[in-house]
Each structure stands twice: as C-alpha cells, then as structure tokens.
A and B are shown apart, each in its own frame.
Chain A
Amino acid sequence: MLEAFVFATIFCGFFGIILKKNLVMKIISMDVMSTGVIAYYVLVASRDGLFTPIISDAANGAYADPVPQAVILTGIVIGFSIQCLMLVGVMKLARDNPTLETNEIEKSNTP
C-alpha cells in the first residue's frame, strides 16, 4: 500500500517534468520526484521494523535498517544543492525570458 503511494509520487513528479511547460514548474516536479525516491529509501529501511537502532533501556524490538537511511541523507543534500543551483540559473535566464517557457528558451538558445 505505502509502496504504491511512494511510486505514485515518483510518477507524478516524472510526468510533471514532461508535461509542465514552465521551467520552474519542471524543477519543482523534479523535487517531487526526488521526495518520492527518498520516501522509498525510508520505506525500504522500515521493512523489518520501525525502532531506531539506538542503545537504550527499551526492550529489543524489530529495528529499522539504518543503512538506507544513512545513505539517503547524502541524496537529500545533493538534491537540495542541485535544486538551488538550478533555481539560480533560472533567475539569470528569467531576465531575458520572463515567461520561462522551455520551448521559447530552447528555440532562442539552440543553434
């Protein structure tokens, strides 16, 4: 069930990238897609249990797998920095193309 939702998020993002005309909307769709991917990692980690693997007095339960969570932290940071970079690039482009329609930008910038 949860898995289906996660994949729905990823696909929503991907179709947004294809269908939206505005460059900013495309970037936001990409972020939706990466949110879905991150959620998928969390889901994979929680397959065996939900407890955080920290030493404490609590009874030993079914622990979540820490590896995918640790790994996806890097993914979050990278996704965030790429998002920032792209938005800066879009700001520069917006000076000459106020609508930010990808087709228009592409037409005027390809040889």
Chain B
Amino acid sequence: MTTITIAWIALPFLLGFTIYLLPKVDRYLALFTAFVSAGYALQLFAEQSRLTLELLDHFGVTLIVDQLSGYFILTNALVTAAVILYCWHSDKTAFFYAQAIILHGSINAAFACADFISLYVALEVSGIAAFLLIAYPRTDRSIWVALRYLFISNTAMLFYLVGAALAYQTNHSFSFASLRGAPPEALALIFLGLLVKGGIFVSGLWLPLTHSESETPVSAMLSGVVVKAGVYPLVRCALMVEEVDPLIRIFGVGTALLGVGYAVFEKDTKRMLAFHTVSQLGFILAAPVVGGFYALTHGLVKSALFLIAGALPSRNFKELQHKPINTTVWIALVIASFSISGFPLLSGFGAKVLTTKNLLPWQAIAMNVAALGTAISFAKFIFLPHKAAGEDVVKPGFWPATILLLGGLFAANIVYYEAYSLANIVKPLATIGLGWLAYLLIFKRSLLKLPRVVEQFEHLIGGMSLMLLLLFWMVMA
C-alpha cells in the first residue's frame, strides 16, 4: 500500500508533463489519471485503516491517508473527470489538460499530507496551476482575476510560513500535532494562511469574484475541489489537536451565516453559487468529524451547478425569469438544487442530517438558519420558467459530465442510509417549504444590493491583517 500511495501521488505530475510531450492523447491521459485517483480512494474505503508514511527521523514530515482523505480524494477524482468530460469536444489545448491534471495532483497531495511543509508546497503548486487555468483565455479581465488570486493566496501563504517556523521552534517538528503547545502567534499565523486559502469567513471574500469570473469548467473545478485543499488541513488539525476544535467550529458557523447572507440577496447566478460555496465550507468546518462526507456531496453538487449555470442563456436572474429554459436542463438544475437544500433521496440529505447530528448545542440554531438560507437561495433556481423547446445551447460534453456528477449524488446517498427516519425526513422538508415561502413572499421582490466594497483588492489584503488580530485574540482568550 505504501508503494501504491507514493506512485499515486507522483502519477498526476508525471502524466501532466507527458501530456505536454504527447498532445494527441491529452484527454485520455487526463481522464485516466482521474480514474486512478477514484480507484485509489475506493481502495482506501475498502481498507478501513489508516496509513502513515514518515520521513526518516523525527522532523514530522508525514503523509497520512485514511477515510477522511478518501472522501476528499474521491471528490477530487469525480470533479476532475467531469470537467475533462465537459471539455472533451472543445478546442482546449494540451496545455489546459496538463494544468488541470497538475492541479488535480497537487490537491491530491494536499489531501494526503499531515505536516505544514508538504502542505505548503502542495497549496502553492495548486495556486500556480489554478492561476494558469484562470488566466487561460488570456483576456485582460481573466489575467487580472488570476493575478489577484495568486497575489492574495501567496501573501497569505507567507504568513503561514512564518507560523510554521514558530511551530517548528517549539517542538522541532513540522507535523500538525506540533500545534499543541505552540505559541499563540504560530497558531494565528498558520490559521490565517489556511483560512484565506480555503475561502473561509471574511478572509474568504476574494472567492466570489474569482469563482464567478473564470470560465465554466474552471469555476467548477475551483469551487468543487480547490478551496477544499485549504479546508482539509483545518479539519485534520481539529481532529488531531482537540484544543483547536472549538475555534474551527466558531469559524464554521460564522462562515455558513456570512456566505448564505450574501447568497440570498445575490442577483447573478455564478456569484450566488460562489457565495454559497463560502457558506457550505462553513458546514464542513462546523462538524469536523463528518466533514469528509459533506465535502464529497458539496463538491459534486457545486461543480454540477456551475456547469449547468454555464449552460443557461443568461447570468442574471431577472433576465432568466423571462426566458424559459430547456426542460431537460431544468430537471438537472432542480436535482442539484434539491440535493444542496437537503431533499431526501439525494446525498445532500444524508450529509445535512449527519452534520446536524454532530453539532454542538450552541451551533444548532445558527446552522438551521444557514440551512434555511440555502433553501431560499436555491428557490431562485427551482422557480425558473421552463418549456420543452426552451432556448439553450448545451455543449456536447455537458451531458456526460452532469450525469456523472448527479449519478455520484444518487450513489453517495447509500453511504449514510441510516438517515431515513421519519423525524429526519420531516425537518429538511419543513426547512425547504419555509425557504420557498420566504422566497416567494419576500426575497423574489427584494431589490437590496449588498455593497462590494469589501471585495476590493486592497481591502482584502488589509482585511487579512485585521483577521490576524482577531485570530490572535481568539487564540489568546
């Protein structure tokens, strides 16, 4: 198993560069890599045990793979496969596939490592690959969005590096476990880096613009898995060091409310989805023990939603309400929206129930409000007009990708089949009903437009220093 793990980590990078040498077989190699990852994740579920690979001596450079990473890796594999299928008949060059696969590999590495330095390398490589993917169309806007992304993530990672050095100084080890007993500065700096990278709470406000302005397949990949590379280490830390668990939970609740608060008022489809990603990351952090399953569900559904939003005739909800969309696209949209609102028979339901079961009492009310907000914001999609011959042009690769993702949602449903009890089923239905009622009565007509001033580049960097103070204060308290 050790050899398999190492080969699996190295494979995407190897094939990524091979694609560039053999541009003719780019798609096949890319798809093959995604399948290998999926197979590896299934193998992890079958083994049920934890595998630890350690560098010689005690510097704490370790890789850990267990079921939690299995969920994240499976998400990564399925989303990458769907994105490649989506691009199959487009005129993307070998460069695009090579970058997509390198991104896939670096995120896989981030899901396997359990020390700050390998994590740093994995996150930075994923940042560079994401930069190249966002800038792929080479328009002014895409270059600016990509530059902004790389700049913010790199600045955050510099803070993170200082934190890693401080943590090393106390325990002479880089592993996540060395957070225990580390000075509060170290914890604050490391968490700032991860929070920014993962798009959590106020420091995650770079995310909506980046995710909504990139191309459809790229935003599916960014929202589906790239942000989870920042979230996974937080979840892992919360599980390995109990002292940081309350901190992570507070951030989870804050993020869930903040993201959904923006999403409810948003008038643009892709921006709404991006804000909603912020809120869902909060759900993953709110209950770290079961975060893996939630991440799988969210990754599948969010990338499906981004792909579908790319197939709609307009990005503005106002315009969409006057333009009937094709019924088949609408059905896919409704399935995905139902899953994310927690409707039974789809894996979103199991994930929501499982998360609710693992919440602490003080979190329950806030998370229920966030779930209600989810139902309200997705009512915008569900109540769109549709007819059999509606206007839309779907790309040839659209259906295979969507079917793969939505099929994954149905299949993941069986992971937690114990969720199907009467009390569990009634509650999400009531939430969804209440959300729809609120949407039809209030939010459909609301004209409130939230200001975007906090999303400006300089304010994001400045916000980082404020977050650092907040974190420091929280850790000290």
Contact = CB atoms under 8 A, between A and B. Distances in A.
Given A44-B168, A82-B128, A10 B162 contact: yes
Interface string B129-158: 001100100101101111100110011001
Interface in A22-44: 23, 26-27, 30, 33-34, 37, 40-41, 44
A60 interface: no
A-side interface mostly: helix
Interface residues of A, number: 40
B93 interface: no
B117 interface: yes
A23 B143 CA distance: 13
A111 interface: yes
A92 B143 contact: yes
B177 interface: no
Contacts of B457: 102, 106
Nearest to A105: B144
Interface residues of B, number: 41
Given A30-B151, A71-B174, A82-B128, A92 B138 contact: yes
Contact of A90 (B147, B154, B155, B452): B147
A39 B121 CA distance: 18
Interface stretch (B243-251, B255-263, B284-292, B458-466): B458-466
A96 B139 CA distance: 11
B186 to A, nearest CB: 12
B162 A37 contact: yes
Interface string A62-104: 0001011001101100110110011001101100100000100
B128 A81 contact: yes
Given A37-B161, A47-B169, A85-B150, A78 B213 contact: no
Contacts of B120: 74-75
A18 B462 contact: yes
A82 B142 CA distance: 17
Contacts of B135: 89
Contacts of A67: 59, 168
Nearest to A29: B155
29 contacts: A14-B155, A17-B461, A18-B458, A18-B461, A26-B151, A27-B151, A30-B154, A33-B155, A37-B158, A40-B165, A44-B165, A65-B172, A75-B120, A79-B154, A82-B124, A82-B127, A85-B128, A85-B131, A85-B132, A86-B150, A92-B138, A92-B140, A93-B140, A102-B458, A106-B144, A109-B145, A110-B209, A110-B452, A111-B268
Given A67-B168, A89-B143, 13 more contacts: A10-B158, A30-B154, A33-B158, A40-B165, A65-B172, A74-B121, A82-B128, A85-B150, A93-B140, A93-B143, A102-B458, A110-B209, A110-B452
